[in-house]
Structure 1
């Protein structure tokens, strides 16, 4: 039986500046919407945005405007953003001041290439890292490349580093056995552990968890017999969600990786197969929203949204929208609502299972 979504409210981004991409930053003190618009990153408080405050609560200049890869992160108090660049991790204050910079090797894949000295030079390639500011605002976790392109191949490697959020000083590092296309990070609600998910294209996915013990990163991975994408965690739930890289199943795990529940995608009405797409998350502690795509990858057929029980991953039913089929991915906020974005109108809609 289908579940009808209820439209809570809508909000349209002001101005004519194009939207390069957007993300949701979920914290204990509320969710923020991060919208990259050319040379700037706008930050909106989600509740205020949908209450009618369309102007961003803060705007940050992008250190390298032509670099459009990497996953950036907002501090919990929204006073600074840390940008994951091609050759540096950079913290920028709301007044535009560069607070600090942590230089690292270039993510560009061409070994031995040179740089002109131009800070705005963007090298070939889409490979990138990510960063995350801890919930207490003290640390920045960053996935970077070290070793440089002017050294022997064996000296080049990727690392997970923890930096002091005040000055960018390196506090700890962990060497990684990866060759990333990209990555993202999620904090566990215990406030101690952080997860790092590294996508390596045809070579699969790596998933690590770690905690900072003094000046040491203590970590473990879930990579034996696994090829899973880290999707979401929730403050009211002990587990985390992953999707198999090819979309074969959705799983709920304990922090040590133990599988607590599993869900296979539902076949289409005509019994043709479907796969879980690379989007899912906690609507709240009781409900998960996830998406499936058809096996024939017909671009004209919409992505289907599903609600599942958060503890058993039992399929509760597909979501139908009063406005008609929606092709946008859902962005769950963890408070009982989720967002969808209409790029043609630069409009965000906020949905829930029950009326407001």
Structure 2
């Protein structure tokens, strides 16, 4: 094993740095995603969502938010022209001028039993029982033509709640198909370069939390279920998926042939034997050969270069400046981190 003075670091090469348009924020309210002209930086605030094109143009799109960020998640189309807000009672697609393109209602995600099918945010805006409740999640397909959404449904119109995974037309919100998930908890989507594929990880608060790997064939939504796994990222080709088990002990690669050999978190010479080392629940897959993953201990996370074909841990990533947070997907060849002072996002590539 390496010693603190002799560990070989793999250098991260700076690509660009983009200031946060709404100022410092929680990591959960900020993400990067691939777009047709390059990565998009997206930040969610209480009153608006902002998308910045990371291509040197400085183009910015602002979308008024229909409800504060504590009432659900959000997504932006790959071209940055449409924002989708996944709320407690509905999905709403919003144009940059604030116009609602469409809205699709669903049953209430409130933590308390709430069999009411709300027609507006105003009905529960001041109710403590609804504040901080799950809001499901939604994501655009790689071509921006479809919306994948995880929604709540009260079975038979009663108080027994269930969940469905739905595929909608991004142009008008028409529900094209859906399937019951058999889950009970909030989820997050894992995008895929194939518009007909999407991943969904559902956090049920225990070790049986599953990951769903979905396929839309134009008529029917089907999915595979991976129990006790969390989807982290897809390879640029889409041929492989990176997952971590719910105990965060091992990474796995999945493809048509099944799971590859798992890899445990590397021994980190900077931590003590008493500290448990865990793989983080976010990672980037910038190339077919390389994964940038992170481990978490009682201190700061460390980023590692992992061989994407063998899952061998090559060594720690070395950054030329201090960074914060976890590595996140940003498109082919690059990944993102926060700046040390949380005022900007850095994009990185592997050094030559």
- TM-score scaled by length of structure 2: 0.86
Report SS of the residue matched to 1:283.
Answer: coil
Residues 1:146 and 2:141 are matched in the alignment: no
Q: Indicate yes or no: 2:343 matched with 1:346.
A: yes
**5+ residue gaps in structure 1?**
none
Give the structure 2 partner of residue 284 of structure 1. Answer: 287
Query: How far does residue 166 in structure 1 lie from its aligned partner after superposition?
Result: 1.9
Residue by residue, what CA displacement relative to the aligned partner does 1:66-114 show, whole Å, maximum 9, x if unpaired?
Answer: 2425332222322211111110001111221001100011100211476
Aligned-residue RMSD, C-alpha = 2.5
- Which residue does the alignment assign to 2:139? 132
Offset, 1:177: 0.8
Q: What is the Cα deviation at residue 194 of structure 1?
A: 1.5
Moved more, 26-35 or 163-172: 26-35
- 2:222 & 2:115 partners in 1: Cα distance? 34
Q: Do the aligned residues in 1 keep the contact of 2:141 with 2:147 (CA within 8 Å)? A: yes
Cα pair distance change 1:216/1:304, threshold 3 Å:
same
Q: Find the aligned partners of 2:305 and 2:317 in 1 and give their Cα distance.
A: 7
CA spacing shift, 1:323–1:25, aligned 2, 3 Å: closer
Residues in 1 aligned to 2:210 and 2:150: alpha-carbon distance in whole angstroms = 13
Q: 1:167 to 1:350 in 2, by over 3 A?
A: closer
| Aligned pairs (5 A) from 1:326-345 | 326-342=323-339, 344-345=341-342
The residue that corresponds to 2:199 in the other structure is 195
Which residue of structure 1 lines up, in the alignment, with residue 306 of structure 2? 308
2:340 and 2:30 map into 1 onto residues whose CA distance is: 11
Relative to 1, partners in 2 of residues 1:116 and 1:220: Cα closer, same or farther, differing over 3 Å? Answer: closer
User: 3-state DSSP class of the match of 1:68?
Assistant: helix
Task: Using structure 1 for the length normalisation, give the TM-score.
Answer: 0.85
- Conserved? CA contact 2:147–2:170, under 8 Å: yes
Greater Cα offset, 134-143 or 283-292: 134-143
Distance 2:72 2:141 in 1: 18
**Which residue does 2:38 correspond to in 1?**
30
| Preserved contact between residue 285 and residue 334 of structure 1 (Cα < 8 Å) | no
Structure 2: distance between partners of 1:116 and 1:19: 30
In the alignment, structure 1 residue 319 sits paired with structure 2 residue 321: no
Structure-2 residue corresponding to 1:157: 162
- For the Cα contact (< 8 Å) 1:71–1:183, is it kept in 2? no
CA distance in 2, matches of 1:35, 1:343: 17
**Matches of 2:81 and 2:207 in 1, distance apart?**
38
